Amino acid sequence: MSPRTERTHAAWRAALDELEALVAEADASLPAGDADTATSTAATPPRRWTPPTGLGPLPQDLATRASSLAERQRGVIGRLEAARAAVLQHLGAVRTVEASHEPSRPVYLDATG
C-alpha cells in the first residue's frame, strides 16, 4: 500500500472512529426502554461533528463499516425522534396543568373596601 493510500485509510478510519463515538454517546443519552415512560438524565449537550476535509473517496474495504455505521445512526435518530416526541407530549401536559391553575378572572372580590 502506498503512503498516500495508507494516509487516506488512516484518515477515514479516524473519521469513522469519531462518528462511531458520537453515535455511542447519543445512544447512551437516550432513555432505556419505552420512550413514553422513561426519562433521560443526560445533562451535557451533544458534541457536534465537523466533517474532515480532503478525505477523498471512501476506500472500498471500509464500505461495510461505513454502511453499518449509517444504519446505526438511522436507528439512533429514530429513537431520538421518539424521545423528543414523548418530551413534547409531557411538556404539553405540564403546560395544561400549569394553565389550569391560573384563573382568567379574579377569585376574590373586596366588597368592604
> In this predicted model, what pLDDT tens digit does every residue of 64-93 receive, in sequence order?
999 999 999 999 999 999 989 999 999 888
Q: Which of 102, 13, 21 has its CA nearest to residue 59?
A: 13
Q: Which residues fall within 8 angstroms of residue 27, CB to CB, at 6 or more apart?
A: 72, 76, 79
Instruction: Please report which confidence band the pLDDT of residue 108 belongs to, taking 50, 70 and 90 as the band edges.
Output: confident
| Calculated CA dihedral for residues 9, 13, 15, 19, nearest 10 degrees | 150
Which is more confidently placed, 27 or 106? 27
Q: Angle, nearest 10°, between helix axes 63-100 and 3-29?
A: 30
pLDDT given for residue 37 in this prediction? 45
Side chain identity, residue 54 = G
Cα–Cα distance, 14 to 30 (Å, whole number): 25
Is a pLDDT exceeding 60 seen at residue 42?
Answer: no
62 by DSSP, 3-state: which? helix
